[in-house]
Structure 1
Amino acid sequence: MKVVLDKVFPLAASADSAWQLMQDIEAVAGCMPGAKVTERIDDTHYKGTITVKLGPATMAFKGDIEVLALDAASRSLHLVGKGTDSTGSSAATMNLTAAVQGSGEGCELSGKSEVTMSGKAAAIGGRLMGPVSEQLLKQFVANFSARLDAMNAQAEGAGDAASATAGEAGAPEAAGGAPARPAQAVQAPPAELNGLSFVWAMIRDWVRGIFSHKAHGR
């Protein structure tokens, strides 16, 4: 069972900031619900896990991630992840290409993924694989954007603190009388990918689409 997704999402951040975050493979993996990098072998090879829950069934995949390309000129990332569950009855492969596009204060994150599942995982979630993958990608982008916001806020806070220190040693406020902005907390993705929550999100989007079409049809 294979699903191919090709999406573009806007980001409220500079392309330089987004590219800086994309180069941190462990942080990028942490944006995926249920995923975690457990070991860094070298700059291009990692080991990780992803936990998927579909109703009462929970499947834990362990596998390898290989970074095939990290191109600063095109601000693009290409990686492949392969894994099997603990029983060996299911397998999954993901081929992902992502790139940061644009300039100035705003940019876009484009991604193309090919996800292939076999065995028990494909039998249980095969019919939902496409819609669930799309919801998963939306959540990934939301987490990626949240990390970007926190990273930028932390950088601004550090800059304000440095300016205040340079202007007046021990001053409680940053230059201009404004307090340094604290870094935003990033909400960690759930420890497991709950397939049912994604199904609910799909139903919600479908209902919204129906009412949106009715509104436009008036």
Structure 2
Amino acid sequence: MAMTMNGEVQLPASREVVWAKLNDPEVLKACIPGCEELERSAENEFRATAKMKVGPVSARFKGRVTLSDFDPPTSYKISGEGEGGVAGFAKGGATVNLQDKDGGTLLVYNVDAQIGGKLAQLGQRLINGSAKKLADEFFTKFADAVKASA
């Protein structure tokens, strides 16, 4: 099952500050819902473990996250894939773009993802709702992290 999501978040900091936070593994680990582990495994690659619950399906996903297509402090692409055992798999990517706006930074994101296994059997509405909730939770925590350093 494929899904797409996009949105934007206004942040009260310069693009340089937001860029630094987007590239800080400790900030990302604290902001990713259910993230238990995020460790750098190569220059622009991380090993990740996250526990997720979508409807009645709960699983621990292990995978990797790669950052690419850098244009500091304006944009990059984040790609990832994870296996959750019998729950299935998830893989996808997001482009993140930063723009100066209203004395702060507008973060614009576009996500494409695919899921399979038991997760894909839950239905499009439940999956999309859960994905939006997870994205909202990430960006709320990320905005708080940016505000804390502003």
Alignment partners' CA distance in 2, 1:16 and 1:39: 23
In structure 2, stretches of 5+ residues that fail to align are none
Q: Aligned partners of 1:103 and 1:127: how far apart in 2?
A: 33
Structure 1 distance, partners of 2:30, 2:42, is 18
Q: CA deviation at 1:72?
A: 0.9
| 1:45 corresponds to 2:45 | yes
Q: Is the 8 A contact 1:14 1:103 kept in 2?
A: no
Which whole-Å CA distance do the structure 2 matches of 1:53 and 1:31 have between them?
A: 16
The structure showing larger relative contact order (alpha-carbon pairs under 8 Å, at least 6 residues apart) is 2
User: 1:9/1:104 Cα in 2 relative to 1: closer, same or farther (>3 Å)?
Assistant: closer
Structure 2 counterpart of 1:84? 83
Q: CA deviation at 1:23?
A: 2.0
TM-score by length of 1: 0.62
| Structure 1 residue 109: Cα displacement | 0.7
| Matched-pair identity in % | 25
Shift of 1:29: 4.1
Q: Report the CA distance shift for 1:38/1:102 in structure 2 as closer, same or farther (over 3 A).
A: closer
What's 2:120 paired with? Answer: 122
Aligned equivalents of 2:135 and 2:103: distance in 1? 23
State TM-score, norm by structure 2.
Answer: 0.87
Question: 2:29, 2:38 within 8 Å by CA — same for their partners in 1?
Answer: no
Higher strand share: 2
> Which ranges in structure 1 are unaligned for 5 or more consecutive residues?
153-218
Residue 113 and residue 31 in structure 1: after superposition, are their counterparts in 2 closer, same or farther (change >3 A)?
same
Secondary structure at the aligned position of 1:102 is classed as strand
Change (3 A) 1:93 1:76: same
Equivalent residues in 2 for 1:1-218, closer than 5 Å: 1-54=1-54, 57-72=57-72, 75-87=74-86, 90-102=88-100, 105-124=103-122, 126-152=124-150
> Do the aligned partners of 1:15 and 1:104 also contact (CA within 8 Å) in 2?
no
Q: What is the CA distance between 1:82 and its match in structure 2?
A: 0.4
Alignment-mate amino acid for residue 86 of structure 1: G
How many equivalent residue pairs?
A: 150
- For the 8 Å contact 1:97–1:112, the answer to whether it is kept is yes
How far the C-alpha of 1:38 sits from its partner, in A, is 3.5
Matched residue type, 1:77: Y
Detail structure 1 runs of 4+ shifted over 4 Å in the superposition: none
